[in-house]
Amino acid sequence: MMMNHTIDKLHDLKLEGMARALDEQLSTAASSPLSFEERVTLLVDAEATFRDNKRLQRLLANAKLRESACVEDIDYRASRKLDRSLMATLAQCTWMNHGLNVILTGPTGSGKTWLACALGNQACRHGLSVKFMRVPLLLDELAISHGDGSFRKKLMMWAKLDLLILDDVGINTLTATGRSDLLELIEQRSGSKSTIVTSQLPLSKWHDYLSGGNPTVGDAIMDRLVNGAHRIDLVGESLRRRKAANGA
């Protein structure tokens, strides 16, 4: 009865991992030979693991990653020309401590979004805040926020994220407002927070796309996004097409 009361107290104190571990210790004979110190250590470890897992689940839920991807499953076949050494460095997530960016370009189906999500997943596992946004939807949200007065609040919310994934840059035509909003968001993050950008457009065409007749804006966005960024240019056949063929 006393131990049941203790478990209830642990739940009341929101020590869920410790409560579950104590209940397991009481229900298995394997814990009997352990010393008091060993049992307490196991309880504390269980609580720490429980909290780490809960935080990871929360970070992944907030990230809303489009793909269920992880760095351990990256396809390194030679035809993709994906640098294994670079990916190992990116998987450490230290580049995010310095506010560096990653530019992912390549044709449709080459795995840009999947790879971006794998890096996003890795960032969550390192306890970092992440958000995946398709650029057309992001710009739509910002456009709406101008009307309801929430632009500054929404901008600050995205600006403080440790990692922002901007998917499909170049897939839609930028309006003058969208171009200005994109610059403002990137400016707020520049130098302190990291951004992953995916695009079907080769980097050589970005300036024309981002400028829209205003080269000053194009220069500003390029300077903040591309300078010093890790660049990955994926090549090869469409992975989606190959998977569909293999499944046929």
- Contact call for residues 162 and 130 (beta carbons, < 8 A): yes
For 245, phi then psi, to 5°, come to -65, -40
For the segment 18-22, the average pLDDT, to the nearest whole number, is 79
What pLDDT score does 13 carry? 76
**Beta pairing class for 194-199 and 163-169:** parallel
Residue 232 DSSP class:
E
> Residue 50: which residues within 8 A CB-CB, separation 6 or more?
16, 17, 18, 20
Strand order through the sheet with 230-233: 130-134, 163-169, 194-199, 102-105, 230-233
Neighbours of 219 (CB within 10 A): 13
E strand or H helix at 37: helix 36-63
Across 3-16, b (16+ Cβ under 10 Å) vs e yields eeeebeebeeeebe
Provide the whole-model pTM: 0.82
pLDDT tens-place string over residues 120-160: 999 999 999 999 999 999 999 999 999 999 999 999 999 99
Average pLDDT over the chain, rounded to an integer = 88
pLDDT tens-place string over residues 43-85: 888 878 778 889 989 999 999 999 999 999 998 886 778 999 9
What is the maximum span of the chain, computed from C-alpha positions, in angstroms?
76
3-state SS, one letter per residue, for 100-156: CCEEEECCCCCCHHHHHHHHHHHHHHCCCCEEEEEHHHHHHHHHHHHHHCCHHHHHH
Q: Between 38 and 69, name the one with better pLDDT.
A: 69
- Contact call for residues 234 and 80 (beta carbons, < 8 A): yes
**CA distance readout (Å), 141 to 29, 83, 194, 197:** 57, 35, 21, 18
Q: Which residues pair with 131 in a beta bridge?
A: 164
Domain regions of the chain by residue span:
2-62, 64-247
For 102, phi then psi, to 5°, come to -130, 130
Question: Domain 64-247's class?
Answer: alpha beta
Among 117, 123, 110, 114, CA closest to 77: 110
